[in-house]
């Protein structure tokens, strides 16, 4: 494993972070433009959830990208990201549409992104020290 990716622990962390990013992107992109959202998420509270998910997604994408850049080889970063983009729609389809297109699904997604961001921030000091 060391010949492929010497920092395989970082690889095991990067893959779930990238998966959460991909699934969150699929869910959030389905909510834009705001006028074409499903009926269940047209309230003001649901709009706040959509915008909050979008902001969390931007933060998670930036953090995951920086973490991958600091900790992984370029080849590993590209291959793993490609595999995530390839297989994330399957995970998206498994998630029941009654949940993912509803406010409850958006709340679950906020929680998932917050957990991923918390784990990423726990590891960030080491990754940032590597970059400088």
Kindly tell me if the per-residue pLDDT of 125 is higher than 80.
no
Of 61, 66, 54, nearest to 18 by C-alpha is: 61
Cis bond upstream, residue 33 (ω within 30): yes
pTM of the model: 0.88
List Cα–Cα distances, 115 to 30, 38, 41, 48, 56, in angstroms. Answer: 22, 26, 23, 19, 11
The whole-angstrom distance between residue 93's C-alpha and the CA centroid of its chain comes to: 16
**For 79-96, how does the pLDDT look when each residue is reduced to its tens digit (9 = 90+)?**
999 999 999 999 999 988
In degrees to the nearest 10, what's the CA dihedral of 13, 19, 21, 26?
180
Kindly tell me if the per-residue pLDDT of 132 is higher than 60.
no
Q: What is the CA radius of gyration of the chain?
A: 16
| DSSP-based three-state secondary structure for 4 | coil
What pLDDT, on a 0 to 100 scale, did the predictor assign at position 2?
61
Kindly tell me if the per-residue pLDDT of 123 is higher than 70.
yes
How far, in Å, CA of 42 to CA of 51, rounded? 12
- Residues 112 and 9: beta-carbon distance below 8 Å: no
Q: What percent of the chain has pLDDT over 90?
A: 55
């Amino acid at each position: 494993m060391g010949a492929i990716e010497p920092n395989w622990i970082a690889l095991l962390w990067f893959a779930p972070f990238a998966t959460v990013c991909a699934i969150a992107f699929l869910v959030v992109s389905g909510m834009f433009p705001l006028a074409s959202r499903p009926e269940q998420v047209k309230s003001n509270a649901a709009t706040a959830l959509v915008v909050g998910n979008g902001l969390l997604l931007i933060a998670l994408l930036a953090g995951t990208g920086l973490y991958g850049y600091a900790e992984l080889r370029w080849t590993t970063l590209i291959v793993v990201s490609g595999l995530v983009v390839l297989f994330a729609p399957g995970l998206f389809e498994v998630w029941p549409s009654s949940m993912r297109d509803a406010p409850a699904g958006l709340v679950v997604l906020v929680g998932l992104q917050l957990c991923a961001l918390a784990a990423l921030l726990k590891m960030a000091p080491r990754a940032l020290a590597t970059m400088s």
